[in-house]
Amino acid sequence: MSALTWIAAGSLVVWLWLLLGQGFFWRTDVRLPRTPPGEHGNPPDGQGNPPDQDGNPPDGHGPAPGEEPGGWPSVAIVVPARDEAAVLPASLPSLLAQDYPGPAEVFLIDDGSSDGTGKLARELADTYGGLPLTVGSPGEPEPGWTGKLWAVRHGIALAKSAHKSEFLLLTDADIAHEPDSLRELVRAARAHGLDLVSQMARLRVTTGWERLIVPAFVYFFAQLYPFRWVNRRRGRRAAAAGGCVLLRRGAAERAGVPEVIRQAIIDDVALARAVKRSGGAIWLGLADRVDSVRPYPGLGELWRMVSRSAYAQLRHNPLLLVAAVVGLAGVYLAPPVALCAGALTGRPALLVAGAAAWALMAVTYVPMLRYYRQTLWLAPLLPLTALLYLLMTVDSALRHWRGQGAAWKGRTYARPSAAP
């Protein structure tokens, strides 16, 4: 057999393994665990671990002494925001309008905005009412901190000085929540004994470029961090989606966050790792009622979104970059090349291997396209999308080598001096 035939056959083997052996990453049925109203401490944790003899979740997070089993804990909602005036009218009112039975307060942290984000937030609160809103400003980040985590730190400190909340909801300024979002997050955390509950918000998919790139962004993320593996209590894999993270304050303090992850570019994954490393139980899944309202109308905006953190995902390691490029080319690009070459040269083994690998690739992409309510004709275009991601990853590394690092909203972050 030719070298290309061997590569196509290897790609087919890889796709068979991805289909069955990578935590069923391609399935989209990992959603927020639902619990009937009024049940807050009795169900099993979803991984086969039963409640303890008192009916509390397996890790001991039952109602506190003297607390009514049906009581709702206090929640501080922390929203880091930098130059978010364009999206705030579509997101902040949804937080203020949360239908939550317990005490809750919103802390929006204006991280050095130049577009009147803080002023607009106050105006929206005056217009819409709802949950109380506090707008804070932490000033420029201290050395060694990313801007977002510096803002999160300030928000947590403000919330702590205001009242001792049991939970923190860390949510981005471009995330809109349905009215029952907070209630369901807290209910799931308490019923299943979870220290961190994160939902990957449904990103906007309107333009042609968004249709081509956005569903694949979530697909690739799930391939790296299969949700079922993340949600195993004794597993080592950890990840979260930074747009929507409900976190127990006690778990945050045990893990030392945000201080311990203060330099992290991919802060959501670093947060989940810190919580799980400290013994916390985490859960990650796709969202049904949490949406990103940020538009990425053109290729340039999407390119910057991916490339700013792609090389950080590879730990700024040139060898991992080479491995990623070779892997993407061999797994995603080789099958269509093999199919075309086999058809043109009359080599049936090459054609069949390429076609089978390409078909498996498309099949695994279909559930994500359905989740995003997109035409299934996009599934065979996944190799093209993978090629774009390959180029974005290489561009991310080039930017780092040029000293530009991870750039976002006027700030540039170099490689962290130490791993979080």
pLDDT digits (tens, 9 = 90+) for 116-139: 999 999 999 999 999 999 999 999
CA distances from residue 394 to 311, 334, 420 in whole angstroms, order as listed: 8, 18, 24
What is the arithmetic mean of pLDDT over 289-304? 94
CB atoms within 10 A of CB 39: 13
200/32 Cα distance (integer angstroms): 10
CA distances from residue 398 to 132, 217, 237, 313, 389 in whole angstroms, order as listed: 45, 21, 29, 14, 14
Contact 121, 92 (CB under 8 A): yes
Amino acid of residue 3: A
CB atoms within 10 A of CB 66: 6
Contact 168, 79 (CB under 8 A): no
394/388 Cα distance (integer angstroms): 10
Given a cut of 90, is residue 409 above it in pLDDT? Answer: no
Indicate the pLDDT class of residue 40, thresholds 50, 70 and 90.
Answer: very low
320/313 Cα distance (integer angstroms): 10
DSSP assignment, residue 156? Answer: H
Contacts of residue 6, Cβ cutoff 8 Å, sequence gap at least 6: none
Indicate the pLDDT class of residue 61, thresholds 50, 70 and 90.
Answer: very low
Which is more confidently placed, 194 or 409? 194
Please list the residues that pair with 408 across neighbouring strands: 411
**Closest listed residue to residue 294, CA positions, set 387, 156, 409:** 409
Given a cut of 50, is residue 377 above it in pLDDT? Answer: yes
Beta strand 244-248 with 167-171: parallel, antiparallel or unpaired? antiparallel
Site of tokens 């279909």? 366
What pLDDT does 26 receive?
Answer: 98
Contact 196, 272 (CB under 8 A): yes
383/216 Cα distance (integer angstroms): 10
For the chain, percent of residues with pLDDT exceeding 90: 81
**For 119-133, 245-259, 306-320, which range has the lowest pLDDT when averaged over its residues?**
306-320
Average pLDDT, the chain: 89
What pLDDT does 41 receive?
Answer: 41
Question: What's the burial of 300, exposed, middle or buried (CB within 10 Å: 0-12/13-18/19+)?
Answer: exposed
Indicate the pLDDT class of residue 2, thresholds 50, 70 and 90.
Answer: confident
Q: At what angle do helices 382-401 and 318-328 cross, to 10 degrees?
A: 160
What pLDDT does 55 receive?
Answer: 33
Given a cut of 50, is residue 369 above it in pLDDT? Answer: yes
Residue 41 tokens, joined: 């401490």
**Closest listed residue to residue 106, CA positions, set 115, 288, 88:** 88
4/56 Cα distance (integer angstroms): 57
309/315 Cα distance (integer angstroms): 10
What pLDDT does 94 receive?
Answer: 98
Given a cut of 80, is residue 417 above it in pLDDT? Answer: no
Given a cut of 80, is residue 34 above it in pLDDT? Answer: no
Residue 188 tokens, joined: 């799931």
Indicate the pLDDT class of residue 164, thresholds 50, 70 and 90.
Answer: confident
Q: At what angle do helices 348-371 and 3-21 cross, to 10 degrees?
A: 30
Give the helix/strand (H/E) hosting 117.
helix 117-128
Sheet holding 167-171, edge to edge: 133-136, 104-110, 75-81, 167-171, 244-248, 196-202, 282-292, 175-177
What pLDDT does 62 receive?
Answer: 44
Residue 60's SS3 state is coil
**For 81-85, 318-322, 350-354, 413-417, which range has the lowest pLDDT when averaged over its residues?**
413-417
What is the arithmetic mean of pLDDT over 291-309? 93
Which is more confidently placed, 103 or 69? 103
What is the number of helices (H) and of strands (E) in the chain?
A: 14, 10
What is the arithmetic mean of pLDDT over 215-243? 96
34/40 Cα distance (integer angstroms): 11
What pLDDT does 71 receive?
Answer: 87
Contact 228, 24 (CB under 8 A): yes
Amino acid of residue 64: A
**For 54-68, 160-174, 177-191, 316-330, which range has the lowest pLDDT when averaged over its residues?**
54-68
What pLDDT does 407 receive?
Answer: 64
Indicate the pLDDT class of residue 414, thresholds 50, 70 and 90.
Answer: low
Contact 332, 354 (CB under 8 A): no
DSSP H helical ranges for 97-179 = 117-128, 147-162
What pLDDT does 60 receive?
Answer: 41
Given a cut of 60, is residue 289 above it in pLDDT? Answer: yes
193: left (phi over 0), alpha (psi -120 to 50) or beta: left
**Closest listed residue to residue 406, CA positions, set 394, 398, 396:** 396
